[in-house]
Amino acid sequence: MGKVGKLLHTRYRVNDLERTVKFYRDVLGLEEVRRHKSPRGSELVFLKAPGGDAQIEITYFPGSGSVQVQPDLTHLAFEVESLEVFASHLAQFGIRFSDGPTTSSSGTTFAFIDAPEGYEIELIQKGGGY
């Protein structure tokens, strides 16, 4: 009692809904779960990673003005089997790591890419390095 349950979704507001959905779907491999228009006129698309429950809500609401993401404000983190293999996949889209790869003292390796609007995506490879 008095505490929340599981995380359901995180919302990111964007300037170009279709460009952003295409990025999350085609580049990251997320699945579009549902799409609808809210009563106030926002266009909403919910996506989720394979094997995960939490969703990302991508929202376009022109009445709120242009989205301007501050550097290093927020990011989403996804696990990848191999950063080296994923880097080759990204290259097909003309995308390169914006930071990293960096290996921590625990042996986990991580790198970042930039999503549309400037939101950061962290890619994490567990274990033995890059």
Catalytic, 122? Answer: yes
Catalytic residue among 43, 57, 79, 122: 122
Q: Which of 24, 32, 45 is nearest to 93 (CA)?
A: 24
Q: Which of 46, 44, 42 is nearest to 64 (CA)?
A: 42
Q: 79 and 34 in contact (C-beta within 8 Å)?
A: no
Q: What is the DSSP code (8-state) at residue 100? A: E
Residue numbers annotated as active site? 122
